[in-house]
Amino acid sequence: MISAIHPLLVRGWSSRAPLAAAFLAALAILSPASKAQTAATPASSKTAAPAHKHPAADPAPSAPVKTIGNHTAPITMEVFSDYQCPSCGNFYETTLRSMIQDYVASGKVYLVHHDFPLQMHNYSGQAARWANAAAMVGQFPEVDAALFDNQAKWTADGDLEKYVATGLSPANFKRVQAILKGCTGPAPTSKVDHTLPQPEAGCPVDPYIIQDIVLGTQVPVQATPTFVIHYKGQSYPASSGFITWPILKQFFDTLLSQ
């Protein structure tokens, strides 16, 4: 399952992949939701169409596609992010937004989002649930933007639902709400002691969040945002913190000129 979803990442940290693959295989067997969605994942990740243009009217929710852009783009950038972390919000608003409008839109970069909700943040796990549910109905970019755009507001009042609704049509919002119907308990987050969180039975998005946390632990993600850039099958060392778009763009241009 892991290699089907994240072939580039697994190639980058192949030495630790068997352990994670074993864990995720066990998780997939235990989780009825992920069992049903495993078959749909490779197809959605291999589609040539940009993820944000997936039809929103899919009859049944599929595995979350938390990507923006064309997967055939020469550069892939994987971002491990926490929706409640201020640096992540700043990074999205000032760097990723420009990147999406410029290099993702022009097919140079394929952006892959991974959830890495931190234990210290009250609502980041729940925000990740909303993002994953939206990604199941092909609305990830919209909810991703809505969450970061309103980060200060929902961090203050905890009312995620209100702000997620601003990024979706009423019909899609209802579908997302339906997916999260069984998610009533605490959302999974990464732990300070590196133990893995348990998915809530009946919450179909939790296994995907935990899967991202496992991947992040392999990198290893020590702070958010952390991002890994891949080019021509090679993975470059992970970087953490806020980077401005001109400097990130310069790195992309250096890679593309090789």
Partner 1 sequence: MTANETRGPLARTLLILGRLALAAIFLFAAYAKLKPQAAMRWSGSSIKTSLSLFAMQVDSYQLLPPQMVSPAAHFLPPFELFLGLWLFSGVLLRYASLTTTLLLSAFFAVMVRTYTAGLEINCGCFGPGERLGPLTLLRDGSLLALALAVTIGAFMLRRKRRHESAPVAGVSAPQRAD
Give the CA distances from residue 19 to residues 12, 190, 250, in Å, rounded to whole numbers and listed in that order.
Answer: 14, 17, 36
Spell out, one character per residue from 150 to 189, where the chain touches partner 1: x when CB under 8 A holds, - when not: ----------------------------------------
Q: Which residues are paired to 115 by β-bridges?
A: 81
For the segment 195-234, give every residue that binds partner 1 (CB under 8 A): 222-224, 231, 234
Please give the Cα distance from 7 to 98 (Å, whole number): 26
The residue among 101 and 239 lying less far from partner 1, judged by its C-beta, is 239
The residue among 47 and 235 lying less far from partner 1, judged by its C-beta, is 235
The phi-psi region of residue 231 (left if phi > 0; otherwise alpha if psi is between -120 and 50; otherwise beta) is: beta
Choose the stretch contacting partner 1; rule: CB under 8 A; options: 29-37, 44-52, 127-135, 243-251. Answer: 243-251
242 binds partner 1 (CB under 8 A): yes
Query: Cβ(205)–Cβ(180) under 8 Å?
Result: yes
H/E run at residue 75? strand 75-81
Choose the stretch contacting partner 1; rule: CB under 8 A; options: 25-33, 47-55, 184-192, 241-249. Answer: 241-249
For the segment 84-143, give every residue that binds partner 1 (CB under 8 A): 87
Q: Which of 85, 6, 78 is nearest to 45 (CA)?
A: 6
For partner 1, the binding residues (CB under 8 A) are 87, 222-224, 231, 234-244, 246-248, 250-251, 254-255, 257-258
